[in-house]
Amino acid sequence: MCGIAGKLFHDPTARVSSRDIERMTGAITHRGPDGRGLHLDGNVGLGHVRLSIIDLSTGAQPMTNEDETVWIVFNGEIYNFAALRERLQAKGHVFRSHSDTEVIIHAYEEFGPDCVKELRGMFAFAIWDAKRKRLFVARDRVGIKPLYYCRTDEAFYFASELKAIITEPAVPRAINLPGIRKFLAFHYLPGTETLFKDIHKLLPGHFLTVEQGRVTQQPYWDLKFTQQRWQISFDEATEELNGLLATAVRDHMIADVPVGILASGGVDSSAILNFAVHATDKKIKTFTVGFDGDQVVDERPFARLAAERFGTEHYETSISAADFWSFLPSYVWHMEEPVCEPPAVALYYVSKLARSHVKVLLSGEGGDEAFAGYPNYPNMLRLQQIRATLGPLARPVGAGAQWAGNAFDNEKWRRYGSALGRPLATQYFSRTSGPTGFFNRNAGSFFTPEFLARTATVSAAGFVSGLMVPVKDEPLLNQMLYVDSRTWLPDDLLVKADKITMANSLELRVPLLDHVVLEFAASLPAEFKVRERETKRILKATFAKSLPEEILKRKKAGFPVPYEAWLRGDLQQHVAEVVLSDRCLSRGYFEKGEVRRLLAANVRDGSFAKEVFCLLVLELWHRAFLDEAPAGTAARPEKPEPVEVHP
């Protein structure tokens, strides 16, 4: 795991200086504390910071081929590199190291841009082809590794993190106002946009080339829900899945440093643990985080149960409201994109614990998106059945439910009423929000007239409708899974997974997001994944004999940080001081009275915790990336006021 950065002047006579690249890599040293390197070639410069995982002695980067005409900086792991290396050697390629990085170089020489189709793993890399004067940049299929870029009139920049790009004084920090509106609609920012108008994300499953000042992008992979389903029984499918996961976890265990497991006590992480203990003769270390107090979901007992079943060396930590608050500015600085993801704070503290014992951590991230584990999937399927039963009455019944929801301020009635009153496939934003979400429903009153006017073109529903085109003929479950795989997964969950663990210089691997596993899951009939109220049906069936029944049947939680209680209790005043400050309101986005009403409503019943957290994160983002960081520097988090927490 590493960090990469680079700069390419469009003018071939211009020269990139070592200071430019060192400034960029200096902003992301947390991604690679074990080494730093750069390569300069006239108008191009490549930079790399290294976290040594494989081939500790000869894997330094930037790395080149034999005649130094192809150079690479690479972040990630290629799990099929040994087999690919043998194929390339058979074709005459000569290797000087045992690293997966060098395999990519020779694959590029052999296959050109199609080399990405040969790679099985997580990656973001840039190749400078000196003969062709071409910069080739690629990102893995699912978006496990991040990649940002910016094109100005003079140069092209790329990096693993946005903060490396804004160290360049020539990169403008113009705010992307429509992006703010989009963030509030989804609770994260999907697609290519960031909150900087001129900085973009390379989409998962895409590569781009920069030649003679022209930037071109191309997709090379997309998740396909095949119309011709696997002609196998449910039992045969569980056996096939068992074999695929065993292979994926075994490959993800490859490292020259200690590997541990992030254990939540859920089905996904316990399944990973089940395979991991059989993939090594070393004692596995497991790590989890919990929260003390009444009415708090604590995953530690379930994690202990899994640790006992598989005989691991188990470690735990816990966090408080004070810990949560003190980390928030750093959370925003590391995430770089505004994301409503409070569990990321818990992930920071447990990965900090893990880093004192291991350098690589495996997690069960992705099981819910691959095998339909969220409760909203069966809920939406049930609504589809009700709508079909009601027929022409669905719309008036839905309108009545919405009226009742507004009259009695019942969010659940409002949401279900909206779903009944319109085709479900056209109103599924993602699992975090939808057209009846607070900021969508109350846009006219909550936002200032000026902000509304400047963001009038934003249509979250239109964005999702465009995404659904490739799966418009698929069953509803597959449509929802596809939308989540293109939005929520890469732009919320995987942003958190990468950046928060890298904040502790720790590599996180996600075997359930191996693209072969994803393709297998997508090929299965919908009923193999959801049947009535049962979610993740095939995954649970696969591990019915190996996991404790208490884990298989427990209600989904997933690092359930009790931030809802903290925002209306210990942290209530501190949150108000941030989002109602003159500094925040002077940005001109929100009406002060509406913000007050939202905070008061959340204190009453806790039903708007996500919305409040969105406002808090958005303001902290402005302070870190616009107010506190002059041009030519990386952002730094502003320290919050200390919190007193009384028992």
Active-site positions read: 2
CA distance 95 to 8: 28
- 37 strand-pairing partners: 48
Nearest to 153 by CA among 6, 11, 20: 11
User: Residue 363 has which token pair?
Assistant: 């997690």
Distance between CA atoms of 473 and 137, rounded to whole angstroms?
33
Structure tokens of 27?
Answer: 């902003």
Can you say how many angstroms the Cα of residue 288 is from the centroid of all Cα atoms in its chain? 20
Q: How far apart are CA 123 and CA 1, in angstroms?
A: 9
43 contacts 14 by C-beta, under 8 angstroms: yes
- Distance, in Å, from the CA atom of 22 to the CA atom of 115, rounded to the nearest integer, reads 29
Q: Are 205 and 222 in contact (CB under 8 A)?
A: yes
Give the DSSP letter string of 6-59: EEEESSTT----HHHHHHHHHTTGGG-BTEEEEEEETTEEEEEEE---SSTTT-
The beta-strand segments (E) located in 51-130 are 63-64, 70-78, 121-129
Residue type, position 557, single letter: A
Query: Tokens 């291991």 appear where?
Result: 358
Interatomic CA distance for residues 364 and 428, integer angstroms: 25
Whether cis (ω within 30° of 0) applies to the bond prior to 62 is yes
142 Cβ neighbours under 8 A, 6+ residues apart: 122, 204, 205, 366, 485, 489, 490, 494, 513, 515, 518
* CB distance 151 to 69 below 8 Å: no
Q: What's CA 92's distance to the chain center, in Å?
A: 38
